[in-house]
Amino acid sequence: MSEVLHTEVAILGAGFSGLGMGVRLKQDGVRFLILDGGDRVGGTWRDNTYPGVACDVPSHLYSFSFAPNPDWQHVYSAGHEIQRYLERCVEQFGLQPHLRLGRWVQAARFDEGQAEWVLSLADGATVRARILVAGAGALRDPFVPPLPGLDRFQGTMAHSARWPDELDVTGQRVGVVGTGASAIQIAPALAPRAAHLTVFQRTPPWIRERRDRAYTEAERATFRHVPGALLASRLATWMRNEAYYPLVFGRLHPIARLLEPLLKRELQQRVGDAALADRVTPSYRMGCKRILLSDDWYATLARDDVSLVDEAVREVTETGVRLAGGREVPLDVIVWCTGFRVSQPLGELQVTGLDGADLADAWGDRPRAYLGITVPRFPNFFLLLGPNTALGHSSVVIMIEAQIRYVRKALRWLRAQPGTPWLDLRPEPLERFMEDVDQRHDQRVWMTGCDSWYLGPDGSNFTLWPGSTARYIARTWSFDPADYQLGVQQPSAVR
């Protein structure tokens, strides 16, 4: 007989979202399990171990408000340091007994008769839970373009999110496909070791200086021992980012128009070579795609042993790649920095709600959720970092904590009701929310004509929150039961 686990709340994912939800539920005295297919916690920071991996949000803001860390080594933390921070949170808050690692959830079905979710695990086990919280995140399933010849390549291929521990590029001819957030970290780390590095660029990104540095021991001692110093650092960073948002991301804001020529002048100075500078200068509005941070990207492209190719890759050959114009570039290693499948935030997980409703079908090419958290016909189901809650200017941990607060309030209300009820979002709040979101997106720079992973096939933005984090906190501060209809378990179905 297969294993059956019972809990009040099942949490999918053991990254920032899942662990943060677990900490708060433990404080509330709620029974819960955190399920993750990986062999350890960490989520994004467990999966992304490529050379140079680091966060592009300042350390003191990219951490839980309830678990500040005075001992960050750098203003912008390296991936391994963030991974260790999450592991310490597990230890600090006693989450070990609640973790079920190596337990991959394949399907989740709402059993209306029992008023609970039934999770089917890859190992044959079943989890039954009254509440389901999905905290797996959308940037999880790597995307490799379906080019001809992928199976012919005789060298080594790696995706940035699946970096082989044993990969050594010393003396190798390396190709980095893409110029996004992971590529601008990977290429500078690989260039000094590779015999030659080729960067394949589709569109050049807007890049600001990162200005990273190590914290001094005196600074870390101040954060540890001076009351309010760590909080002040966090608040100052948050306020700068909040002020930055309207200046850069408004469609017609004059400040953004002034910043663009300044960044272009800085780019030309940092690159040095005028011809190369022209090739890496964006032609679209700043902020239309993600603005990246780097102190060494342009210096890397200017190296004698680095080539920039801005011609499309047509196919993969046995010994490299062939470009659209027919030229073949010989390579020993191909690194795909080509992002993730984001149109289905829950990946291949099959989620079935009331009357057999399938979440993937309900979403189609445009995922939609009220406040990015709940979806009609999927009772007692909550998303963390769901549609329209990603950011381009601040820390998603702020968004996660706002969503966790909302879920806790919903659970408290639900637990206070008689019987074993379930909450199902009414369609009207979602429609009003999406109308407001779309109107606000129309006023943002990312709707000015560039092609980015923010946008779906219909041109709508299902990824970003079109406002400040302060506005999102305000929107999610209160839980209104009037937005939901209440279902009650039938007496005949009680086990």
Using the CB atoms, write b or e for 428-450: b if 16+ within 10 Å. ebbeebbeebeebbeebbbbeeb
Query: Please, what is the average pLDDT of the chain?
Result: 93
Which CATH number belongs to the domain containing residue 298 in this structure?
Answer: 3.50.50.60
Q: pLDDT tens, 162-211?
A: 999 999 999 999 999 999 999 999 999 999 999 999 999 999 999 989 99
| Assigned domain for 234 exists | no
pTM for this entry: 0.95
As a three-state string, the secondary structure of 434-491 is HHHHHHHHCCEHHHCCCCCCCECCCCCECCECCCCHHHHHHHHCCCCHHHEEEEECCH
Confidence tier at 1 by pLDDT (50, 70, 90): low
The answer on 14 and 133 residing in a single domain is: yes
pLDDT reported for residue 492: 41
Which has the closest alpha carbon to 169: 178, 153, 179, 158?
A: 158
Which range has the worst mean pLDDT, 108-117, 260-269, 312-321, 396-405?
260-269
Verify that 90 and 180 share a domain, yes or no: no
Looking at residue 228, the DSSP 8-state letter turns out to be T
Model pLDDT for residues 407-425, shown as the tens digit of each residue: 999 999 999 988 878 999 9
Supply the range of the domain harboring residue 19.
Answer: 4-141+341-493
The length of the chain in residues reads 495
pLDDT at 114 over 70: yes
Question: With contact defined as beta carbons under 8 Å apart, do 187 and 300 qualify?
Answer: yes
Q: How far apart are CA 177 and CA 179, in angstroms?
A: 7
Whether residue 360 has pLDDT greater than 60:
yes
| Percent share of the chain, pLDDT over 70 | 98
Q: Is residue 134 part of a domain?
A: yes
Residue 300 has pLDDT above 50, yes or no: yes
Residue 462 domain flag? yes
Predicted local confidence at residue 252, as pLDDT: 61
Answer yes or no: do 319 and 402 share one domain: no
Please state, in angstroms and rounded to a whole number, the distance separating the CA atoms of residues 79 and 51.
Answer: 10
Each residue's pLDDT tens digit, 28-72: 999 999 999 999 999 999 999 999 999 999 999 999 999 999 999
Q: What is the mean pLDDT of residues 267-272?
A: 86
Assess whether pLDDT exceeds 50 at residue 469: yes
Total domain count for the chain?
2
DSSP-derived 3-state class of residue 320: strand
Residues 322 and 455 in one domain: no
Does 464 share its domain with 352?
A: yes
The answer on 423 and 295 residing in a single domain is no
pLDDT at 270: 85
Any idea what the Cα angle at residue 70 is, between residues 135 and 66, rounded to 5°?
A: 40
Say how far apart CA 472 and CA 466 lie, in whole Å. 9
